[in-house]
Amino acid sequence: MFTLEQQLAEQVKQAVKSLYGLETETDNVQIQKTKQQFEGNLTVVVFPFVKAARKAPQMVAEEIGNALVSADNDKRIVDRFNAVQGFLNLVISPSYWMQCLQDITSSDNYGMQPANGHLMMVEYSSPNTNKPLHLGHVRNNLLGYSIAKIQEANGWHVVKTNIVNDRGIHICKSMLAWQLFGNGETPESTGKKGDHLIGDYYVRFDIEYKKQIKELMAGGMDEDTAKKGAPLIKQAQAMLLKWEQGDPEVRALWEKMNSWVYAGFDETYRMMGVSFDKIYYESQTYLEGKKEVERGLNEGLFYRREDGSVWADLTGNGLDEKLLLRQDGTSVYMTQDIGTAKLRFQDYPIDKMVYVVGNEQEYHFKVLSILLDRLGFRFGKDLVHFSYGMVELPNGKMKSREGTVVDADDLMAQMIADAREVSKDKVNKIAGISDEEAQEIARKVGLGALKYFILKVDPRKNMLFNPEESIDFNGNTGPFIQYTYARIQSVLRKAEDSITTGNLQISNDKEVELIQHLAEYPHVVRQAGQEFSPAVIANYCYQLACDFNSFYHDYSILGETDDSIKQLRLLLSHTVGKVLASGMSLLGIEMPERM
RNA sequence: GGUCUGGUAGCUCAGCUGGAUAGAGCAACAGCCUUCUAAGCUGUGGGUCUCGGGUUCGAAUCCCGACCGGAUCACCA
């Protein structure tokens, strides 16, 4: 099936050929949506043909317009036109639009591409196990989940994965602080989520550590020596060493504390509505990475310095030299990522690997790509680093240690509470609704507001979040779109017995605009996939909801007396609801049936 | 300093593969509920698209330069 644009482009191509003898490609025919202030649905820009025609733009537009209008009956889709300078505004015939609406309505999985037989793995979230998730992770999780959904819609078989950074000095710090100051506290004994409890001890470590540094410096030591020599950091490093040696006591403590954290993360993920098909743990992949580095060393791809550390020379790639193994033989971030990549490609027939990681790590992924390629992994060269921007607060970046982080659990709870509060102001809305249902609606709306707020902005750009100002529920927001959907469902519920399969009749421009908008959905999904941009979907849904609300305000659906007009409006409303729900689901946003 | 990236209304953001008079939301102001859900609709005000050159029929959009901001260039992750 050809799109309207494709059909028109073909016709313009023919017209230009017969009128001016100019051979052109349909790709060169510029067609855009007609601006609001002119009559028409689509506009052909005729400037490119002016030269060959040797006529004024206005004249060229009119000649092409006439050719389109006088096309054979079976091909004729242009009802009439108007030409404004070099712009040929086309009014598409109502019969085309009605057929279009019916095609959209009757298609299953409208906007979704058929399976392409390829597997894409999307890595996102990737938390450290020493503190709870914050707003930065929220953006990562929402983007990762949405990208996975969008690529699925574009025909990929997607495997969502998570690499948990469960080992290293950071978790040892929490473990040590808990051992020293914890008095055996547990999530059960404190009523705290496990990740928050561990986070508290991570902070506690830092406080005690700073105290020691201060004391040492008061005793005349310089700062650097104090930082390196403080007993606490020595103890933490000793603990890490024991961990690497497999010391049973340390391992047992580590297992216990990580299990608390995972229970906490699970709860956060569940509330956020994200999930994974396969989770990797760095404690299980870093050794594989070391093996690969050793192999590379033996094959002469890397080199060892005198101090025993192992490096990759990337100067030939325009980069620097990169450390792969420390002089004590322990692995670094890069080593682990190599190991993780290897295991993943052993586990799955991956055609495309996507890493959803902040733009601060662009250098890292550039290097990873080169190293994997050098090690002979065919997937290395074209791995995708989906690099997104930071979430900034009014006074800059979030800093864990300065207590300026916005906690993910708190934020979601706050959003839901706000949504509950807002709905209380809406009296006489939904009579006789149960408490549970009201809470469920508040959950969808609160989370919808948060998710939309984050996903509507271009992922590549940094975005600002002001904790002082609550996230809106009016205007260009998730709840606005959810509300539009709920309204539609309300109408459809009431219309249930008056839906027939009678004739359809278009009766105004707003209906046409809506159909035209609906027809763009598959293209929007494709574009979002190509650009890795949930924002494209979000903006589309907003526009569609705007158009529908305007239509809804101006015309009665159930009150329409002409049955064929009423049937068209019902069908149109139904389909708008369907597409809105589909689009929002690609953002991981649920739609309430009423609100 | 090298590399990457951004600068559009008071604020948050669209638009950026060149097209008509640059769009939304929030905030401000003024209207619209005995009628399908007012979390809605309509209107008013608000802009040297950072600045300067260039490319062309046409530039917020492409190119060059400047200024300002952010990221990165760790034996951190």
Q: Is residue A82's beta carbon less than 7 angstroms from any atom in nucleic acid strand B? A: no
Q: Mind listing the domains of chain A with CATH numbers?
A: 4-92 (3.30.1360.70), 167-262 (no CATH), 426-586 (1.10.730.10)
Q: Is residue A556's beta carbon less than 7 angstroms from any atom in nucleic acid strand B? A: yes
How far from the centroid of its chain's Cα atoms is residue A167's Cα?
A: 28
Report the alpha-carbon angle A258-A259-A261, nearest 5. Answer: 65
**CA–CA distance from A512 to each of A37, A41, A382, A481 (Å)?**
16, 8, 43, 20
Rounded to two decimals, the ipTM of the complex is 0.96
* Chain B bases closer than 7 A to any CB of the protein: 4-6, 11-17, 19-21, 24-27, 35-42, 57, 69-77
If you search the block for the tokens 């495309």, which residue do you land on? Answer: A352
Is residue A488 a contact partner of residue A573, using CB atoms and an 8 Å limit? Answer: yes
Residue A365 (CA) to nucleotide B3 (C1'), in angstroms, measures 14
Q: At what angle do helices A231-245 and A248-272 cross, to 10 degrees?
A: 90
Residue A518 (CA) to nucleotide B42 (C1'), in angstroms, measures 24
Tokens of A461: 């750009």
Q: Is residue A422's beta carbon less than 7 angstroms from any atom in nucleic acid strand B? A: yes
Q: Which of A's residues 242-261 have CB atoms within 7 A of nucleic strand B?
A: none
Beta strands in A129-225 (DSSP E): 157-164
Q: Is residue A550's beta carbon less than 7 angstroms from any atom in nucleic acid strand B? A: yes
Of A414, A150, A399, whose CA–CA distance to A271 is shortest? Answer: A414
Residue A318 (CA) to nucleotide B68 (C1'), in angstroms, measures 28
pLDDT tens for the 595 residues of chain A, in order:
578 998 899 999 999 998 998 888 887 889 999 998 889 999 999 998 988 888 889 999 999 999 999 887 777 899 999 999 889 999 999 999 999 999 999 998 999 999 999 999 999 999 999 999 999 999 999 999 999 999 999 999 999 999 999 998 899 999 999 999 999 999 999 999 999 999 999 999 999 999 999 999 998 888 888 888 899 999 999 999 899 899 999 999 999 999 999 999 999 999 999 999 999 999 999 999 999 999 999 999 999 999 999 999 998 888 889 999 998 888 899 999 999 999 999 999 999 999 999 999 999 999 999 999 999 998 898 899 999 999 999 887 777 666 678 999 999 999 999 999 998 877 556 667 888 999 999 999 999 999 999 999 999 999 999 988 889 999 999 999 999 999 999 999 999 777 776 789 999 999 999 999 999 999 999 999 999 999 999 999 999 999 999 999 999 999 999 999 999 999 999 999 999 999 999 999 999 999 9
From edge to edge, which strands make up the β-sheet containing A157-164? A278-281, A157-164, A119-123, A352-358, A384-388
Q: Which nucleotide is nearest to A34 (CA to C1')?
A: B20
Tokens of A68: 């389109």
Q: Is residue A282's beta carbon less than 7 angstroms from any atom in nucleic acid strand B? A: yes
Q: Is residue A3's beta carbon less than 7 angstroms from any atom in nucleic acid strand B? A: no
Q: Is residue A595's beta carbon less than 7 angstroms from any atom in nucleic acid strand B? A: yes
Report the alpha-carbon angle A574-A578-A579, nearest 5. Answer: 120
Is residue A445 a contact partner of residue A473, using CB atoms and an 8 Å limit? Answer: yes
Is residue A334 a contact partner of residue A372, using CB atoms and an 8 Å limit? Answer: no
Is residue A383 a contact partner of residue A372, using CB atoms and an 8 Å limit? Answer: yes
3-state SS, one letter per residue, for A529-585: HHHCCHHHHHHHHHHHHHHHHHHHHHCCCCCCCCHHHHHHHHHHHHHHHHHHHHHHH
Of A289, A271, A269, A287, whose CA–CA distance to A279 is shortest? Answer: A269
* Pairing, β A396-397 against β A352-358: unpaired
Beta strands in A213-308 (DSSP E): 278-281, 303-304
Task: List helix spans (H) across A299-407.
Answer: 333-347, 362-374
SS3 category, A458:
coil
Phi, psi of A24 (to 5 degrees): -140, 165
Phi, psi of A182 (to 5 degrees): -80, -20
Q: Which of A's residues 323-382 have CB atoms within 7 A of nucleic strand B?
A: 323, 326-328, 332-333, 336, 359-364
